[in-house]
């Protein structure tokens, strides 16, 4: 199994061990600093910590941790140029599997500018992107994201994450990959399964988005096991368990 979106820097080694024992072999950790950053070098240090320290911590517990890096909209108050320079380096050396998570939260001018510039980097380097959508004003922000992305990047290179039953109709007929976040206060596994049941398994990824907020490191495993218990075809379950993620992110998994 693959958890396609988490924040390893906020979690303990014990969480990684539990995920591995539950059958999650691989996870993708994304960048997000949950506190106001006053200087871009603080964020750069944070991103390097994810790339070097958190991958090593996860490996100690059996979890193969892939990395997505970028500027989260919550950190859009900094001068982004140093981060962009390093993004090119990380992409060139294949240190990251995507630019992420990026996106919009409050629709500020800084957020929108940094979002567009990261989409342009993705287009220039043929990279995948993981796009954040917020808890509040999700439909309004999602509409703006969908207005912006096609002018900078092919939809098929992006996953729009944290999709829920309230907005699924807005995105289901697009070329985006869609992320279903099973997390307390976001979406229960039953809601994710209902979406898969209605719209099929081909364009969805599963993730826990475990972070400093209320989270369940086993939510992906629990959702997969529930699909199995309910009798869904193994060939379909495998798509959201690992196959869609392997194909979309071009992963070499262990």
Task: Give residue 90's pLDDT band: very low, low, confident or very high (50, 70, 90).
Answer: very high
Cis before residue 194, ω within 30 degrees of 0? Answer: no
The confidence score (pLDDT) of residue 253 equals: 66
What strand order describes the sheet that includes 204-207?
A: 2-6, 26-29, 64-69, 98-103, 129-132, 158-160, 177-181, 204-207
Indicate if the alpha-carbon torsion angle 31, 35, 40, 41 is positive or negative. Answer: negative
Mean pLDDT (the chain) is 96
CB atoms within 10 A of CB 57: 17
Q: Give me the count of residues in the chain.
A: 254
pTM here?
A: 0.96
For the chain, give the percent of residues with pLDDT over 70.
Answer: 99
pLDDT tens digits, 121-138: 999 999 999 999 998 999
CATH architecture entry for 2-249: Alpha-Beta Barrel (3.20)
Q: What is the pLDDT of residue 179?
A: 98
Strand ranges, E, within the chain? 2-6, 26-29, 64-69, 98-103, 129-132, 158-160, 177-181, 204-207
């Amino acid at each position: 199994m693959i958890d396609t979106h988490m924040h390893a820097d906020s979690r303990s080694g014990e969480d990684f061990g539990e995920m591995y024992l539950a059958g999650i072999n691989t996870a993708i950790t994304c960048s997000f600093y949950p506190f106001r950053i006053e200087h871009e070098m603080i964020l750069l240090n944070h991103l390097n910590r994810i790339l070097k320290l958190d991958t090593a911590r996860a490996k100690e517990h059996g979890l193969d941790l892939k990395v997505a890096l970028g500027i989260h909209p919550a950190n859009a108050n900094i001068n982004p140029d140093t981060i962009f320079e390093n993004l090119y380096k990380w992409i060139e050396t294949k240190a990251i599997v995507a630019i992420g998570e990026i996106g919009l939260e409050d629709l500020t001018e800084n957020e929108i500018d940094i979002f567009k510039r990261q989409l342009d980097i993705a287009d220039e380097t043929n990279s995948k992107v993981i796009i954040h959508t917020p808890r509040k004003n999700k439909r309004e922000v999602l509409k703006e994201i969908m207005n912006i992305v096609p002018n900078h990047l092919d939809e098929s290179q992006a996953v729009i994450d944290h999709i829920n039953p309230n907005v699924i109709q807005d995105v289901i007929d697009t070329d985006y990959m869609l992320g279903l976040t099973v997390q307390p206060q976001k979406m229960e596994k039953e809601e994710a399964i209902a979406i898969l049941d209605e719209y099929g398994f081909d364009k969805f990824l599963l993730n826990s988005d475990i972070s400093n907020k209320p989270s369940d490191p086993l939510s992906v495993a629990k959702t997969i096991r529930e699909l199995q218990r309910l009798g869904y075809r193994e060939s379909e379950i495998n798509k959201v368990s690992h196959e869609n993620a392997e194909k979309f992110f071009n992963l070499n998994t262990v």
